[in-house]
Amino acid sequence: MSAKNHYTNYTPVYLALDCIVFGFDNEKLKLLLIKRNFKPFKGSWSLMGGFLEPKESIDESARRILLSLTGLSDVFLEQLQVFGAVNRDTEARVVSSTYYALIKINDYDHDIVKANGAAWHEVGKIPQLIFDHNEIVETALNKLRRKCRTQPIGFELLPEKFTIPQLQNLYEAILDKTFDKRNFRKKLLSMNLLDKLEEKDRAGSKKGAFYYQFNRERYEVLSLQGFNFEL
Amino acid sequence: MSAKNHYTNYTPVYLALDCIVFGFDNEKLKLLLIKRNFKPFKGSWSLMGGFLEPKESIDESARRILLSLTGLSDVFLEQLQVFGAVNRDTEARVVSSTYYALIKINDYDHDIVKANGAAWHEVGKIPQLIFDHNEIVETALNKLRRKCRTQPIGFELLPEKFTIPQLQNLYEAILDKTFDKRNFRKKLLSMNLLDKLEEKDRAGSKKGAFYYQFNRERYEVLSLQGFNFEL
DNA sequence: CCAAAAGTGTTCATCGTACACCCATGT
DNA sequence: ACATGGGTGTACGATGAACACTTTTGG
């Protein structure tokens, strides 16, 4: 054993953090991808990634990377999976801990994003990505689809104020199916988690649709009492 | 940049694989823990862990470690989470990728397990573990509890042939609640996933209870048709 | 013959689903 | 006035929950 630590018999690895960034433009579910700006495969489409720094936890690292590439902090960000096939990276042994982010599509910093050569892609039309990133995207999509039906995470993709038809469009886009609008509205409102505002959104129609707000505090109280969000 | 690869600016880390091993003894849900046999904290209770080797994927690594400590291969083993706080290990920067295993408690190799100083602990009575392992166990338990209600993973903890009362005991132990036995039986049998055998288990009662078998092929077919296991 | 666990059916409330028309307003 | 999307209620079937007695058999 070395003087340094008891683990020197083992081989360390590079730990990458890769973020799958979802956004919703009121029509389609989209993914933010960048043109990789370092070797190897500089210029290829890729997830937003970086490497762990010694003095940050992996969560902090993922947030740092997301902030540096989009200007966003204070975002829904959750671990997806670790990808650790032996030759997934061509340069060195790199294990990737992946995170998926749900962002409000109008909040990110367009300049930073453009400077990084990033662009939104419909989830149905993802280009070829480097390494195993296409597989990672598939995994993230599956996770999002499962999770959005049992946890109120969809709201992370919408502005603070949103209309019921907007919300329905979102779920239809994520799950790639349609809902009956009467049943959808009834279901969501019956959970008692949406606060109706006075104000209307007049962008979508002449009549205008009332804005609602998700009440997170009420959700947390109800959760503790055994309530389960379910779509 | 070095001649070796493009990532040499980054600091590699040790990647540990830790396994949370669940078992069921027809009464309680249990966890297999070992007395750690290397420094630091040699002799403390710990999850079953080891370090990634260069030529194995992380999944292979987890299976190797589980095999070496229990003699078991061909086991339900699934990724849980990565734990990557900066100082979670006291020796070096170690990021742990964790896996939970569901094993048939009579299949493992008692000699190997004993030689490794391992022992079963009720999930309600877990001793103090090294590093953040208690937190990892909590996370695993939550995952198991959520997952066993929507996927037929409970069967991984039972022998091939089991009775309905055994199955009910299992779910009651995992979820720490009781079910009405008529409703439980009706629910499970209505899914059409259990094949009734001729044979009876006479251990549990004078009357004896019929054995059943989980039909995985049928589950997979039904799954593709949109069926969802739900307890 | 009795203790102990296995096995069985019905009722009721709740929830998901299917379905069609009126409303408000900008042009 | 009309086109466009927003908003509403009801009826039916399916599903989950509550509940008590009979069966089998080893001792």
| CA–CA dist A201, A210 (Å, integer) | 6
Which of B33-47, B94-108, B159-173 shows the lowest per-residue confidence on average (mean pLDDT)? B33-47
Q: What is the pLDDT of residues A201-216, one digit of tens each?
A: 999 899 999 999 999 9
B contact test, residue of A52, A132, A142, A229 with most B CBs within 10 A: A52
How far off is chain A from B139, nearest CA to CA, in Å? 13
What would the pLDDT profile of A13-60 be if each residue is shown by its tens digit? 999 999 999 999 999 999 999 998 888 899 999 999 999 999 999 999
Which of chain A's residues 194-223 bind strand C, using a 7 Å CB cutoff? 202, 205-208
Q: Does residue B38 surpass a pLDDT of 60?
A: yes
Query: How does pLDDT run across B72-124, given as a tens digit for each residue?
Result: 999 999 999 999 999 999 999 999 999 999 999 999 989 999 999 999 999 99
B204 touches strand C (CB under 7 A): yes
Question: Which pLDDT score is estimated for A206?
Answer: 96
Q: What is the pLDDT of residue A24?
A: 97
Cβ-Cβ contacts under 8 Å for B218 (sequence gap 6 or more): B192, B193
On average, the pLDDT of chain B sits at 95
β-partners of residue B200 are B210
Q: What are phi and psi of A156, to 5 degrees?
A: -65, -20
Residue B3 has pLDDT above 90, yes or no: no
Candidates B178, B174, B134; CA nearest to B151 is B174
- E-strand stretches of A76-188: 76-83, 94-102, 118-122, 161-163
Å between B210 CA and D24 C1'? 13
A231: three-class secondary structure by DSSP: coil
Amino acid type, B173: A
Residues of A near B (Cβ–Cβ under 8 Å) read 4-7, 10-15, 38-40, 51-59, 61, 79, 81-82, 84-86, 91-95, 97
Closest partner residue to A6 (CB to CB) among B40, B58, B85 is: B40
The pLDDT value given to residue B2? 41
Of B6, B15, B39, Cβ closest to residue A13: B15
Q: Using the beta-carbon criterion (under 8 Å), do B52 and A95 form an inter-chain contact? A: yes
Pairing of strands B94-102, B14-24: parallel
Kindly report which amino acid residue has its CA closest to the C1' atom of nucleotide C18. Answer: A180
B95 contacts A58? CB cut-off 8 A: yes
Q: Are A132 and A85 in contact (CB under 8 A)?
A: yes
Q: How far is the CA of A178 from the C1' of D7 (A)?
A: 18
What pLDDT shows up at residue B4?
67
* CB contact at 8 A, B193 and B207: no
pLDDT band at A1 (very low <50, low <70, confident <90, very high): very low
pLDDT at A143: 98
CB contact under 8 A, B95 and A12: no
Which chain B residues are closer than 8 Å to A86 by Cβ? 54-57
What pLDDT is recorded for position B37?
A: 83
C20 closest protein residue (CA to C1'): A182
Q: Where are the beta strands (DSSP E) in B109-208?
A: 118-122, 161-163, 194-201
Peptide bond into A159 cis (omega under 30): no
Amino acid A2: pLDDT: 41
Q: Which of chain B's residues have a Cβ under 8 Å away from the Cβ of A38?
A: 6
Instruction: Give me the mean pLDDT over the A110-127 stretch.
Output: 94
* Beta bridge partner(s), residue B14: B94
pLDDT reading at B1 higher than 80:
no
Give the single-character DSSP code of A201.
E
CA of residue B71 to C1' of nucleotide C17, angstroms: 51
Q: In percent, how much of chain B has pLDDT > 90?
A: 93
pLDDT-above-70 percentage for chain A: 98
Residue B34: its H or E element = strand B29-35
B171 contacts B148 by C-beta, under 8 angstroms: yes
Q: Check CB contact under 8 Å for B14 and A7.
A: yes
Q: Which residues of A touch B177 (CB under 8 A)?
A: none
Angle between helices A181-190 and A164-175 (to 10 degrees): 110
State which H helix or E strand residue B97 sits in.
strand B94-102
Task: State residue A93's pLDDT score.
Answer: 97
Say if the Cβ atoms of B55 and A81 lie within 8 Å.
no
Nearest to B79 among A5, A81, A95 (CB): A81
Residue B152 has pLDDT above 90, yes or no: yes
